[in-house]
Amino acid sequence: MWGYFRICPHPRISGNNFRVFHDDGLIGKEMNSEANKKNNESRKAVPVTVAYGDGIGPEIMEATLRIIKAGGANLDLETITIGESVFKKGITSGIEPSAWDSLRRTRVFLKAPITTPEGGGFKSLNVTVRKTLGLFANVRPCLSYYPFISTKHHDMDVVIIRENEEDLYGGIEHRQTADVFQCLKLISIPGSERVIRYAFEYARRYNRHKVTCFTKDNIMKLTDGTFRRIFDDVAREYPDIESEHWIVDIGAAKLADSPEVFDVIVMPNLYGDILSDVAAQIAGSVGLAGSSNIGDGFAMFEAIHGSAPRRAGQNLANPSGLLLAAVQMLVYIGQGDVATKVHNAWLKTIEDGIHTYDIFDPAVSRKKVGTKEFADAVIDNLGEYPQQLKSVNYPPHGNPLKIKLVERPAPSKELVGVDVFVDWRGSADELGKQLDEVSKPEFQLVMITNRGTKVYPGGIPDTFCVDHWRCRFQSATSGQPVTHRNVIDLFGRMVDAGIPPIKTEGLFTFDGEPGFSLGQGQ
């Protein structure tokens, strides 16, 4: 199975950074302007779908587009409406069906933040777009701009690559009893492999030396364990890149305390969502962080912050997060020369101390400006380079990357039992005795757990229990498979006994290995 992906870069490209000096800054600007004009005239306009969003979205989108157009970006823009106004029409996804036509046509999406109305019933627009378009990798560069933006971590330069489609973000939730709600965590082998391979290819392309994986595989041995196992397998194919694994809790603590020890970090969806925001904030400000969402032929670029409706219309918002996302977009669509020019101008503006209110610090800032004035300053700096911050140099043309997933034969799969979940208000012993009777002849009741803790047989009365019980039935003939008809017959006996199932999970072996977590004593 082949996929073709275009890698989006980190702002600092080690080994390729450059700094250009001219005898006369004005002459340098004029030369660059003329060159960009010629490049722009010869370059075909690239279709891009744009959404101005809600709150501060329109202001920062206007500033961003003004800057990148001044830098020479050649874009054929299509505008769609998403977010709050669409939600209020009763469209729970926040995006109208006609907008998908534009996205499928351009395959590139520059999106400002949106506002989701309060209350239930509304889906996450980001999750909807990511999953619908198959945007499997979320790439978030998090680096410090010390001493011009305050941070405790002067040398932080981390890229977090987050799996974007799976995990708990499938949004598959159910209320099963009066007491208990469930959210399914789904981790797949192909989904894990392609984001992990992307992380290693990203590291190789941009001269990064290490890829770190965060999971909680000491507890979730099958789901997170699979992500970890695939990471270890893929890492062996990249001997030129150091690899390591951290349990996510201590890894998060280390990231907050010593981010300079990390380079590229790849994680399942939930951990990546949380820790990429943490990383952006400890680097200096969430407001400075942009992200790319990369799929097979589709990409979405966005700031990671929200729509901040309280700041809307006041010419206060910092457009930097969306602008840096647009820089990644320019590289993706093959206008890396423009990306280089815009990004270096932004760095020079930050270095000049021209700051919006959110990052203004009298100790280092020279002038507090609004959204429009900040954009003006970046435009004025086009063709300039930072003197203290490291300048960037993106490849002038996009370079698609091929990623090949390993072909795996389907394992031999056998049904050996079933976990049956029931709603029960009595004691574990009472439930166990009744289920022992209905389990025969095909099954034996192996155990009952309550929220994962074994309570029968051999439980203790001190265990706090709710009304949600997992009852494990396995073949009465040890190690032998059972049939789905046997399972249906078991359900019928349970219904007749007044203990109907509320949820079931088949217990399967794969090539003889259990495909389910083992209970205590098993």
Q: For the segment 55-72, what is each residue's pLDDT rounded down to a tens digit?
A: 999 999 999 999 999 999
Range with lowest mean pLDDT among 16-25, 103-112, 117-126, 438-447: 16-25
* pLDDT tens digits, 400-422: 566 788 899 999 999 999 999 99
Residues of the chain with CATH 3.40.50: 152-173+183-272
Q: Which residues pair with 355 in a beta bridge?
A: 368
| First and final C-alpha spacing in the chain | 38
Residue of 466, 113, 98 whose CA lies nearest to 309:
113
Q: Fold for domain 1-143+284-408?
A: Isopropylmalate Dehydrogenase (3.40.718)
Which residues are CB-contacts of 220 (< 8 A; sequence separation ≥ 6)?
185
Q: How confident is the prediction for the chain on average, in pLDDT?
A: 90
Residues of the chain with CATH 3.30.70.1570: 413-514
CB 266 within 8 A of CB 161: yes
Q: Does pLDDT of 474 surpass 90? A: yes
CATH number for the domain formed by residue range(s) 413-514:
3.30.70.1570
The reported pLDDT for the residue numbered 15 is 35
User: How many of the other CB atoms lie within 10 Å of CB of 173?
Assistant: 10
The reported pLDDT for the residue numbered 313 is 92
Cα dist from 278 to 163, 168, 274, 411, whole Å: 17, 19, 6, 40
CATH number for the domain formed by residue range(s) 152-173+183-272:
3.40.50
Q: What is the pTM assigned to this prediction?
A: 0.89
The reported pLDDT for the residue numbered 395 is 85
Residues of the chain with CATH 3.40.718.10: 1-143+284-408
Distance CA 303, CA 63 (A): 13
Residue of 261, 335, 265, 323 whose CA lies nearest to 291:
323
